[in-house]
Amino acid sequence: MGKVIAIANQKGGVGKTTTCVNLAASMAATKRKVLVIDLDPQGNATMASGVDKYQVASTAYELLVDELPVEQVVERETSGGYHLIAGNGDVTAAEIKLMEFFAREVRLRNALAPVRDYYDYVFIDCPPSLNLLTVNAMSAADSVLVPMQCEYFALEGLTALVDTISKLAAVVNPELHIEGILRTMFDHRNRLANEVSDQLKAHFGDKVYRTVIPRNVRLAEAPSFGTPAMYYDKSSVGAKSYLALAGEILRRAELEQDSPENSEQTA
């Protein structure tokens, strides 16, 4: 069964979409079957995947509201080599429409159930707020990957997000947990960034990825060309960093499978 990871942070501008698109492309490059779901009405993940958000036949709206199956709404041709469920302004209308439905917070979970055996990884790009779309993402996800800048207010925002994840786990998804915390736009010359990074590692331990995403011009430029960084400039430090992150996530997954707890459950 595939793994569903929501990429979320209630603070905007921390690299959620950049992480979603580049991590998905890196996983796809390792021959994994990957699906990206763009739940952000801005549709940035869609455009960064080489898909015109204004020209798509269907989006996450049709998946959540009209309950069309994934295979009818998915875009199979993207610049990153993964499948995509697009997002655009219609997704805002989906959030409003969802209020009319019973069990509205699990619509995405139900929609993904038939395809979880097909995909190795499903990455959900969440909007930068705790709304019904984010709740749907976290209800459907196994875990949450949190990109964050190492800045003063970031720790406060992270505390709020961890509290939100705990509350959602108690109400709609008991299995939900933090997959990992990713330090983005990192500048090792910045003393405050290093101090916040040390605090993160002290508090969250192994949950903080060893891979760090640096500030990188190529990462910033790639979306305007509708492609992940690894296909825009594979030699860039940004592209290499996300490939390293994919490798770290895959190694963690292998360790989890080989853990004594999983062995006992299998037995």
Is the pLDDT assigned to residue 266 strictly greater than 50?
Answer: no
pLDDT digits (tens, 9 = 90+) for 72-108: 999 999 999 999 999 999 999 998 999 998 889 999 9
Return the CATH superfamily for domain 3-262.
P-loop containing nucleotide triphosphate hydrolases (3.40.50.300)
Going from N- to C-terminal start, the domains of the chain cover 3-262
Is the pLDDT assigned to residue 265 strictly greater than 80?
Answer: no
Mean pLDDT of 43-64: 96
- Tokens 């508090």 belong to 203
Model pLDDT, residue 157: 78
| Res. 168 pLDDT band, cuts 50 70 90 | confident
Model pLDDT, residue 257: 79
Residue pair 157/220 in contact (Cβ under 8 Å)? The answer is no
Model pLDDT, residue 264: 55
Model pLDDT, residue 186: 92
pLDDT digits (tens, 9 = 90+) for 181-203: 999 999 888 898 999 999 999 98
Model pLDDT, residue 172: 87
Model pLDDT, residue 75: 96
Is the pLDDT assigned to residue 261 strictly greater than 70?
Answer: no
Model pLDDT, residue 20: 97
Residue pair 34/75 in contact (Cβ under 8 Å)? The answer is no
Is the pLDDT assigned to residue 229 strictly greater than 50?
Answer: yes
Is the pLDDT assigned to residue 2 strictly greater than 80?
Answer: yes
| Res. 130 pLDDT band, cuts 50 70 90 | confident
Q: Does the pTM of the predicted model rise above 0.85?
A: yes
Is the pLDDT assigned to residue 145 strictly greater than 90?
Answer: yes
145 bridge partner residues? 7, 180
Task: Sort 153 into a burial class: Cβ within 10 Å, 0-12 / 13-18 / 19+.
Answer: exposed
Concatenating the DSSP letter of every residue in 143-201 gives EEEEEEE-SHHHHHHHHHHHHHHHHHHHHT-TT-EEEEEEEEEE-TT-HHHHHHHHHHH
Model pLDDT, residue 260: 64
